[in-house]
Copies of this chain bind each other. A is one copy, B any other.
């Protein structure tokens, strides 16, 4: 009995390695097939949403979708049985997405109207980042990620500032322009302020009164100017990340690191360093 159990465990470990890791050849192959399947599934959802294509190739699309759905179902089941604590996967971020992108196709058999939820499959594209992170792009974007992590707080303060500013300016524009010029409510005016501040500028709502256009001009110039802030933050963080100290000498006495390049004595214990 014990032997069989061990065998099963071994089989589970092997499967876990293939599905959850990317170090082995089989693991890499699995990732590539998964990537391919995800891209195909998204392409199918896209094509299906185009009226003409959907009408002419309904059967083919349906077959292809069922094929992908069954593939995803198998993957989902394998992921559950190959992990020690299935609940850890099931209720994780990626686990939820995997579930949400597989279930709508089955639901559509019993409930009409739920088929459009198949589009949720696009969320699986997020796994692309996970797969690629484990693979080759890690080197290229490592410094980038470090810089982004370092500037997260500053960027958050900045975006919060932009949103608050848009709420205030949107409200002001609602009072100036009013419903007759398309600024029918404050949320809509705030939406307009965001459209303007971020220099998107749809033009679906635009100020008509001279004073409104004057305030709009100020918002635009503000938006044009303050885009320099996030850019400046990331630029300086990246520059910092690039110039990070590469001196790896460590003191033989206290083992501390981070000495100056021309240091002759340890800054922590005063011991002589061997150059």
- A residues neighboring B (CB under 8 Å): 42, 45-46, 49-51, 116-117, 119-120, 122-123, 125-126, 128-129, 137, 140-141, 143-144, 147-148, 153-159, 161-164, 167-168, 171-172, 174-175, 184-188, 190-191, 194-204, 206, 210, 213-214, 216-217, 220-221, 223-225, 227-243, 258-260, 262-272
Residues of B within 8 Å of A266, CB to CB, are 265, 267, 270
Return the 4 tightest CB-CB contacts between A and B, nearest first: A232-B234, A265-B270, A236-B238, A200-B201
Inside 8 A of A197's CB, which chain B residues have their CB? 224
Residue A267 contacts which of B45, B140, B161, B264 (CB distance < 8 angstroms)? B264
CA distance A16 to B225 in the complex (A): 38
Known: A128-B164, A231-B232. A185 touches B49 (CB 8 A): yes
B contact residues around A210 at 8 Å (CB): 187-188
Taking CB atoms, residues of chain B closer than 8 Å to A185 are 46, 49-51
**Alpha-carbon distance between A147 and B126 when the two chains are bound, in angstroms:** 29
11 contacts between A and B (CB under 8 A): A49-B186, A49-B187, A51-B185, A125-B168, A140-B154, A159-B225, A188-B213, A191-B214, A194-B217, A223-B224, A264-B267
Q: Cβ of A123: which chain B residues have Cβ within 8 Å of it?
A: 168
Contact residue among B187, B206, B225 (Cβ-Cβ distance under 8 Å from A204): B206
Across-interface contacts of A155 in B (CB, < 8 A):
225, 228
Task: Tell me the complex Cα distance, A137–B154, Å.
Answer: 9
Q: Which of B49, B161, B190, B265 contacts A265 (CB 8 A)?
A: B265
Report the Cα distance A141→B232, complex, angstroms. Answer: 13
Q: A195-B220, A217-B194, A267-B265 are in contact. Are A49 and B174 (CB under 8 A)?
A: yes
| Oligomeric state, in copies | 4
Task: State in angstroms the CA–CA spacing of A51 and B184 once bound together.
Answer: 8
Highest count of chain B CB atoms <10 Å: which of A45, A156, A206, A220: A220
Is the beta-carbon distance between A234 and B224 smaller than 8 angstroms?
no
CB-based nearest B residue for A232: B234
> Which of B119, B243, B264 sits near A174, CB closer than 8 Å?
B119
Q: Which of the listed residues A116, A158, A269 has the most CB atoms from chain B within 10 Å of its own CB? A: A158
User: How distant is the Cα of A171 from the Cα of B188 in the complex, in angstroms?
Assistant: 23
Bound Cα distance from A143 to B263, whole angstroms: 27
In the complex, the chain B residue whose C-beta lies closest to that of A116 is: B175
Apart from A235-B235, A236-B239, list 10 A-B contacts with CB within 8 A.
A46-B190, A50-B187, A122-B172, A128-B164, A158-B225, A195-B217, A199-B200, A200-B200, A200-B201, A224-B227
Q: Is the Cβ of B272 less than 8 Å from the Cβ of A270?
A: yes
